[in-house]
Amino acid sequence: MEILQPADWVRPKGYSNGIAASGRQVFVSGMIGWDAEGRFQTDDFVGQARQALENVVAVLREAGAGPEHIVRMTWYVVDKREYLDAGAALGAAYRDTIGRHFPAMSAVQVSALMEDRARVEIEVTAVVPDQAG
């Protein structure tokens, strides 16, 4: 995996401008902040984001992948201000779940998500390097 960072650009904080990778592609649909039984344990934005990230990691595990293989992540949030105000707590939840791996990332405010209680939905693309030999 190669991080694509033009030399004369300001380094982004918390994401990469681009990633180049080759291998087995894994596509994870939008994960929301409910548990394995489809129940929300909280309406708190950071709590739902943490659960959504844990759900992403669980799906990646099914493909023999981990957070380090994520090349693209898209966040859909119903309240931009809620996302921006979450700051340090959201960063801590991200690092606890994904680690210090920062893929190409976008965040988009949407008017609503399909599940009424959902505050955030996260989808990812991962690339698992081909095994040698």
Q: Where along the chain do its domains lie?
A: 25-128
* pLDDT band with cut points at 50, 70 and 90 for residue 13: confident
CB 45 within 8 A of CB 76: no
Q: Under CATH, which architecture does the 25-128 domain have? A: 2-Layer Sandwich (3.30)
- The per-residue pLDDT for 131 is 78
Q: What is the distance, to the nearest Å, from the Cα of residue 111 to the centroid of all Cα atoms in its chain?
A: 20
* pLDDT band with cut points at 50, 70 and 90 for residue 35: very high
- Over 80: is that where the pLDDT of 1 sits? yes
What length does the chain have?
Answer: 133
- Over 50: is that where the pLDDT of 133 sits? no
Tens of pLDDT along 65-122?
A: 999 999 999 999 999 999 999 999 999 999 999 999 999 999 999 999 999 999 999 9
- Over 50: is that where the pLDDT of 125 sits? yes
- What's the rounded mean pLDDT across residues 7-28? 94
CB 75 within 8 A of CB 30: no
Q: Which residue reads 């990633």 in tokens?
A: 19
CB 126 within 8 A of CB 63: yes
- Over 70: is that where the pLDDT of 132 sits? no
